[in-house]
Amino acid sequence: MIRIGNFPDTVNEYAARTVAGLVVILSLTAILTQSLWVVGALFYGFLARVLYGPKFSPFAKLAIHGIVPLLGLGTKTVAGPPKRFAQFVGVIFSGTAFVLLYFGQVLAFQSVLAVLVLFASLESVIGFCAGCFVFGFLIQWGWIPEEVCEKCNNLQFADKK
């Protein structure tokens, strides 16, 4: 049985950064081609990762089983909930881009995807996850339940041992 919301508690940072790089490539392709199919594929990937983690995401599968092992990047474990939040932000951006392109708002569509390219590039190249950064503030402000905070904190302390 497939369970919605089955996102992993931990994520390989190198796989996440690789997926972000693939998102940059697909987003730039979408900007250049103005193809609803390409933007739809981008939206699907984010939605699949939010709902199921890497299970139904072609980019995640390619990163985990192909690119990361091929490049010998190894494993660096990070908390999953902030990464899931970042994927949710990607759902919002790619969904918005799809709707804008569908209604012929090309400049707005390109602008939204340009922002996505910027933040996915930051994740991919230097490891700065803007969604994770915002997630940290949501924890501080009490908008994220305590049990989620504990999972993130436990992982951080486990990595330092």
Kindly report, residue by residue over 130-148, the tens digit of the pLDDT.
999 999 888 888 888 867 7
Domain span at 69: 10-160
Number of domains within the chain: 1
Contacts of 127 (CB under 8 A, 6+ apart): 13, 17
Q: CA 19, CA 16: separation in Å to the nearest integer?
A: 5
74 domain residue, yes or no: yes
Cβ 107 vs Cβ 88: under 8 Å:
no
How do residues 39-92 score in pLDDT, each as one tens digit? 999 999 999 999 988 889 999 999 999 999 999 999 999 988 899 999 999 999
4 domain residue, yes or no: no
Cβ 32 vs Cβ 125: under 8 Å:
no
1 domain residue, yes or no: no
Would the CA dihedral through 72, 74, 79, 81 be positive or negative? positive
19 domain residue, yes or no: yes
